[in-house]
Each structure stands twice: as structure tokens, then as C-alpha cells.
């Protein structure tokens, strides 16, 4: 770079002190063309920076601190003030939110593992006969288990339009023969009076009386996996056989005794049912 006599130029040490970027990182950004010094002495190789580069350095530091790599930082600097800049930041915020939720889930799991061996007072296990019931259901595929709400968003307007009156708590039936990470096959349902009729895509299902293990969960849905663990332990301890005839009545299902939209997470009550043979 051509030599300059501008006395306002700063040494790399001074620039590092003002920008809170280490000398090592400044050299790294220089080598990638992200923050090139205003002047490099052709004899000594000393780097010097101009005052207007302080703003660039601040943006670089902030982008680094929210998780962008050096290649992305270079692209984003060129997009400042455009829609692409805002879109990139929005996507990164959503990604970090997902990471935060995942981390919180891992922390909760660690807490449960540390408490293993102690009775979890928020989950109670029982065996009971579930009466026969008539339900109005809608079946569909959602990206993941925690996106079941997509189906409820489609079903409830149809329920209202057809004047359907539930007579008990709503729930969900899981159809997949195995746990799946994506594209989950579910039927959400509302218990109704016998003899009900509906128009598609809703359907009426008659579920028979069943002998079930039931885990009642008080609190976060994150405990559902632990509820299944307790049910499985009971099956192993007592040598129980589960119903597995391929019919919808053999599928495990959940009942929501509270409406998540009306109570806090701590007040949620969910029952997990596993039909026995």
C-alpha cells in the first residue's frame, strides 16, 4: 500500500486498544481482506489505521460476537444499510434462539440426571381402565413433535365452523411405529358425544375401553420423555405386555388436562397413556 504522511494514522497497538480487538485478530482480519490497514510501511511492515476505520472495527467485533465467521463478516460489511444486512441479522437471531432453547433443554436434562434416584414429584404413574370414547380427529404430518400446534391451527376453525362441542380434554395420538426426528405423523383429537358426525378433513373415531399405564406430568412438556421412561421401567419391572395390533387404539397418546394458552408452563398438566395388551 502506498505510503501516507497522514499524522492521524494510528499504530496497530493504539487501534487495538481503542477497538477492543487484539493485534492477532487485526492481523487475521487484514489477511482475509476484512479490515485492511490504511497504510502499511513498505520497509518495516508496520500497520497503521485511519480514524474512519474505527466504525468498521466496531461492526466487525459485534458481528464476530454474535457468531458470524470471518467470511460472512466480510460479506455483511459490504451489505450494511441494505435489506440483506437486516435479513442476515434476523436469521442469526432466530438461530441463536434455537440454540438457547436447546441449551436450556440440556440443562434441564442434566438437572434430572443429577436428581436421578429421587422421586420426581411432578410425574405420577398409575394403571387404569380408560373408558371407551368417541373423538373427532384430524390427522397430519408436522416437522417435529413440538410443532403439533400447526395441526391445531388448522383443526380448530373447522371445529368451530361445524359446531362441534368437546366433552373432555383434547389430545394427540402418535402414529409412527418408531420415534422420528422429523415429519411426525399425528392425529389430534377432541372427545365428543356418541353419534357425532363431521365433514372432512375431520373424522370420527370410536376408541374402545383400554387398560393403560398413565403418567401424569405436571409442568413443562420437556418432561414427556421422562414420563415415557417411567412407563417403560414399570413395564420391565412387572413384565407387562403392550398392545401392538396396528390399530389406532394400540397407539400411545397424550391428553392435555390444561390449555397451554391459558396456564403457565408450571401449571400445565399432561397425561401420557400407553395401552396394555
Looking at domain 123-275, which of 3.20.80.10, 3.80.30.20, 2.20.25.90, 3.40.50.620 is its CATH number?
A: 3.20.80.10
Q: Comparing C-alpha atoms, which of 168, 157, 167, 135 is closest to residue 251?
A: 135
Instruction: Find, among 233, 160, 222, the residue nearest to 190 by Cα.
Output: 160
Structure pTM? 0.63
CB 134 within 8 A of CB 206: yes
Reported confidence tier of residue 145, pLDDT bands at 50, 70, 90: confident
**What nine digits make up the cell of 180?**
422420528
- pLDDT, tens only, 61-72: 999 999 999 999
**Region of 156 on the Ramachandran plot (φ > 0 left; ψ -120 to 50 alpha; else beta):** alpha
What order of strands is seen across the sheet that includes strand 39-40? 10-11, 47-49, 39-40
How confident is the model over 236-266, as pLDDT tens digits?
Answer: 999 999 988 889 999 999 999 998 778 888 8
Q: Which CATH class is domain 10-78?
A: mainly alpha
Name the 3-class secondary structure at 149.
Answer: helix
Residue 217 β-bridge partners: 123, 270
216 C-beta neighbours (distance < 10 Å), count: 16
The closest alpha carbon to 221, from 123, 121, 132, belongs to 123
Mention every residue, 6+ apart, whose C-beta is less than 8 A from residue 16: 22, 23, 26
140 forms beta bridges with: 186
Check residues 50 and 179 and name the one with the higher pLDDT.
50
State the pLDDT at residue 226: 84
Intrachain domains 10-78 and 123-275 with the same fold: no
Q: How many residues does the chain have?
A: 277
**Residue 277 to residue 240: CA distance in whole angstroms:** 8
Backbone angles phi, psi at 49, to 5 degrees: -120, 150
For the chain, give every domain's residue range. 10-78, 123-275
Q: pLDDT confidence of 4, banded at 50, 70, 90?
A: very low
Asked whether the predicted pLDDT for residue 83 surpasses 50, the reply is: yes
Helix (H) / strand (E) element for 11: namely strand 10-11
Mean pLDDT of 87-110: 88
Amino acid at each position: 500500500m502506498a505510503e501516507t504522511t497522514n499524522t492521524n494514522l494510528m499504530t496497530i497497538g493504539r487501534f487495538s486498544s481503542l477497538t477492543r480487538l487484539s493485534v492477532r485478530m487485526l492481523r487475521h482480519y487484514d489477511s482475509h481482506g476484512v479490515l485492511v490497514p490504511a497504510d502499511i510501511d513498505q520497509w518495516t511492515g508496520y500497520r497503521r489505521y485511519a480514524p474512519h476505520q474505527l466504525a468498521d472495527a466496531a461492526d466487525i467485533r459485534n458481528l464476530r460476537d454474535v457468531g458470524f465467521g470471518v467470511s460472512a463478516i466480510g460479506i455483511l460489511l459490504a451489505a450494511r444499510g441494505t435489506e440483506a444486512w437486516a435479513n442476515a441479522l434476523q436469521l442469526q437471531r432466530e438461530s441463536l434462539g434455537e440454540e438457547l432453547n436447546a441449551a436450556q433443554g440440556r440443562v434441564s436434562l442434566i438437572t434430572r440426571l443429577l436428581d436421578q434416584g429421587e422421586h420426581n414429584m411432578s410425574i405420577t404413574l398409575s394403571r387404569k381402565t380408560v373408558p371407551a370414547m368417541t373423538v373427532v380427529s384430524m390427522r397430519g404430518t408436522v416437522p417435529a413433535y413440538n410443532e403439533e400446534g400447526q395441526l391445531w391451527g388448522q383443526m380448530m376453525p373447522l371445529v368451530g365452523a361445524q359446531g362441534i362441542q368437546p366433552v373432555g380434554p383434547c389430545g394427540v395420538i402418535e402414529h409412527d411405529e418408531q420415534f422420528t426426528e422429523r415429519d411426525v405423523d399425528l392425529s389430534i383429537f377432541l372427545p365428543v358425544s356418541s353419534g357425532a358426525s363431521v365433514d372432512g378433513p375431520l373424522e370420527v373415531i370410536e376408541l374402545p375401553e383400554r387398560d393403560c399405564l398413565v403418567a401424569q406430568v405436571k409442568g413443562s412438556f420437556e418432561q414427556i420423555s421422562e414420563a415415557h421412561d417411567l412407563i417403560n421401567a414399570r413395564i420391565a419391572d412387572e413384565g407387562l405386555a403392550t398392545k401392538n395390533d396396528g390399530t389406532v387404539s394400540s397407539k400411545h397418546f397424550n391428553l392435555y388436562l390444561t390449555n397451554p394458552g391459558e396456564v403457565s408452563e408450571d401449571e400445565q398438566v399432561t397425561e401420557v397413556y400407553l395401552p396394555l395388551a
